[in-house]
Structure 1
Amino acid sequence: MGTSERPAHGDPSPGQRDPRARRSPRARRVHGTTRAPRRGRGAVRLADTRPPLGLPTLDGTFEVRMVQGATDDGGLEMFSYVHDQSIVRLMGTDATAMLDGARTAVRRAVERLGGEPRAVLVFSCAARAALLGEEAPAEATAVSDELEGVDAVGWFTSGEYALTTGATGFHNATVAVLAL
């Protein structure tokens, strides 16, 4: 089978316990400031705008994590685990880049299969639907066009698991594709 996703990096070394293993899948809290400057208007609360946060990886990419809301004391509630004291970057994208990413995930999964797929499973994060807004149905069209007639089924998920590297294989705000 061929799988594709944005690899998870920074996972524990072999034999090292994953600190996330005992945590429940509920929203997590990030301590620190929740305000970012906005030109000419003072400050805006990050929890109100909910931009994705990127956790830098060793290969120069980012693991994307979505903001769920704010805590009463100014922290951020996250949909997935973020270590305390993590360095994060505010992420941004547009519909064109997101749709290109879905096409790339399909191509990589088919390439890793090493032959013609008989079918494809597509797991798209529900956060992508929110980020795409009215363009969300275009993701299914982009995937279908890339497959050129191969049967595919897909759905929106709450967190994607696709283990190609690392220990956990957990992703957020991405598309995981399995070519069969």
Structure 2
Amino acid sequence: MLLWIGLMSAAFGVSVLAALIPLISIELFVIALMLQRPDTAWWQLAAFVAAGQVIGKLLYYYAGRGSLPLPKLFRRSADTPSRWSLRLARFREVCRERPVWTAGVLLSSSFISLPPFAAVSVIAGVAGIPLRTFVLTGLVGRFGRFALVAVVPGIAGAWWF
């Protein structure tokens, strides 16, 4: 039991870090863990990693929403409306008018990372997508992704050996 708590805590922590720092590959961590400990329940590992990833991406979401203070380099003066602010207003309107399309983009990004989920997390915040939609689609997509990543070593091992 203590080993399980340690493994899941490590997976959760690394997944939060990987969500914040793109140079850390959580996929490689999951594969290495499953190769080292094949008795680990894939669905439990996928759930912990998905939760960590979504919690990490929430920082990007809140930054896009403007709830987190950003360095001056990333802030824009609100005094001068630009064509980008007009495009952003139109984009918010499209997201509100097409909630199924919006959820589909979030779900596909969280599962296949095209477009990259980090970028989509910021865009979701900027677009004012509801937090519930962001979290639910992120959890479902990330769970599916990491469930697949977690079972691949076992399938490959059974196939080749």
Tell me the TM-score normalised to structure 1 length: 0.27
Point out the structure with the larger helix share.
2
Tell me the TM-score normalised to structure 2 length: 0.29
Point out the structure with the larger strand share.
1
